[in-house]
Amino acid sequence: MQTLADKLRFLYKPYVLAVLTIGYIAGELGHYLIGVTSKATAIELDYGDHACQQNHTEVERHLLSKQCADVILEHECHQQLHNGTLYCEWNYNGLGLEYQLLAGPSFIAVFTVMGVVLGFAADRFNRVRMLTVCTLVFGLAIIFQGTVQEYWQLILLRMVMAAGEAGCNPLATGIMSDIFPESKRALVMAIFNWGIYGGYGIAFPVGRYITKLDIWGQGWRICYYGTGVLALLMAVLTGTTLKEPERQSIGEENEAKVKVPLVKVLMQPRVILLMIAASIRHCGGMTFAYNADLYYNIYFPDVDLGWWLFAVTIGIGSIGVVIGGIVSDKFVAKMGIRSRVACLAISQLIATPFAFGSVYYEPLWAMITLGISYFFAEMWFGIVFAVLVEIVPLQVRSTTIGVFLFVMNNIGGNLPILVDPLAKAIGYRGSVMFFYAGFYGLSTILFFITMFFMDGPVKATAPETAERNQVEMGHENNTFQPDDFINGINGGAPKTNGHNILNVRPSESSRL
């Protein structure tokens, strides 16, 4: 007779996905909160640029003789009157080089280095325990960000937060790849990596409206306290309820297996091209993430778009992420790994013109075009990592993810710092448009090129063998073709237990 635990065993996999995803959302919420609270934070901590801005008087922009954002000099800002009421103020606007350093490089510098270190460690140590520690670290760092009194303290704590959050993706991706079969991999990766957009989307109402509530007189600080507590709760659940899944043995237990050098894997043209394309696409997304709330506040100060931005990023973005995973999983069975990259290229191609519209039009059409853009644009992240884990051998999977994230985040996360100097030359709107929508378009071209370096349809595996692979392994990883790659390393066809590796069944070759 089945016990209750046996009957509920089918819930374990979705439970793992839920815990890992919510933990990731908490980390990303802490990451992106600064973009929404920056003006309030800058006023209190004294950093960034001053600018002329519309104050809180109830005046609609179209009734004003001159927009506050068009005023450059402070004394002119104090002279803008409407019906005898001063409608502009000269104050911190939350922007400037100090903000860009806080939002991007200070976080990315640590995040990318630790991502590689933790990626290496994930291939050798217990991933669940490591993920628990990482979540505790960034949860505490987020809480302490709410206590800072100086700009440098905020910089330091964002670096500590980055160190902890760096482990989320490589550790969780490795865990999920060992739990879920290849047929569900893109969808699972898409749901998990939606945590980035979930955290980013939730940051709009949390950063805007919780700050305005001024709970217990804490203003923007309460946002960080709440986020950190959520992260600590997920750390406890991770450490006490998740178990390390079975995976390929490594180190001393793997002596009979072919050693695949990490450098050889990373130097594959398809990995390099995928990395560059993903980095460019990431730059476009990070530019919008770091500047969206500030941009719409500057150009449309009389229109509250906080809930609109939340609805678009959470609602429409979520649908796009899931649809991207499903479409990719359906096509890959018939068309091979190349179809996943085709999904990437086509989705970004459709998203690009609408991304331009979201920073060109007035609020109504800006939100409409942003919604359409998000639906297609947000398909990309989960698919990229589903492609990555399928084109690299299992022994270096987590390490490769760490290196991939290192490059992608250094390029995509640091390039948005150029928004500030370009904005001073061509204007803030033009600068955001260039790095946001322009880089979407560039990534489209690069994904199309990458597609031709990927494998096409592969011969179907016998049903009984495929079923056994999924039960025993939890994944197949058989799109990584060892033929030329392994021969190039060893100078010939290697042998394993007296058999040629190139002739073994998929369940055996996946153990390379």
pLDDT at 494 over 60: no
At 29-59, the pLDDT tens digits run 999 899 889 889 999 999 888 889 888 767 7
User: How much of the chain, in percent, has pLDDT values that exceed 70?
Assistant: 82
Bridge partners of 345, per DSSP, are none
pTM: 0.70
331-390 per-position pLDDT tens digit = 655 667 788 888 889 999 999 999 999 999 999 999 999 999 988 988 887 788 778 888
Measured CA to CA, the distance from residue 391 to residue 25 in angstroms comes to 27
Burial 235-248 (b: 16+ CB within 10 A, else e): bebbeeebeebebb
The per-residue pLDDT for 7 is 53
47 CB-contact burial (10 Å; exposed 0-12 / middle 13-18 / buried 19+): buried
- The CA distances from residue 455 to 207, 210, 337, 479, 503, in Å, are 44, 49, 6, 8, 19
What is the token pair recorded at 266?
A: 């990373």
pLDDT at residue 61 tops 90: no
For 263, the token pair is 């450098």
Per CATH, which fold does 11-29+99-245 belong to?
Answer: Growth Hormone; Chain: A; (1.20.1250)
Mean pLDDT, to the nearest integer, of 418-427? 89
Query: Do 12 and 176 touch, CB atoms closer than 8 A?
Result: no
Stretch among 268-272, 293-297, 467-471 having the lowest mean pLDDT: 467-471
Assigned CATH class of 266-456: mainly alpha
CATH topology match: 11-29+99-245 vs 266-456: yes
Residue 284 has pLDDT above 70, yes or no: yes
* 3-state DSSP assignment of residue 50: strand
Confidence of residue 258 (pLDDT cuts 50, 70, 90): low
pLDDT of residue 491: 41
Confidence of residue 250 (pLDDT cuts 50, 70, 90): very low
- Contact indicator for 354, 433 with CB cutoff of 8 Å: no
- 42, 92 contact by CB (below 8 A): yes
Largest CA distance in the chain: 92
Tell me how crowded residue 457 is: count the other CB atoms within 10 A of its CB: 13
- Position of tokens 């992420």? 321
Q: For residue 2, what pLDDT band results from cuts at 50, 70 and 90?
A: low
Q: Which of 119, 52, 130 is nearest to 92 (CA)?
A: 52
As a three-state string, the secondary structure of 56-118 is CCCCCHHHCCCCHHHCCCHHHHCCCEECCEECEEEEECCCCHHHHHHHCHHHHHHHHHHHHHH
Query: Range with the lowest mean pLDDT among 6-20, 197-211, 283-297, 448-462?
Result: 448-462
The 10s digit of each residue's pLDDT in 470-493 is 433 333 444 444 333 333 434 444
- Domain ranges within the chain, ordered by starting residue: 11-29+99-245, 50-90, 266-456
DSSP 208: I
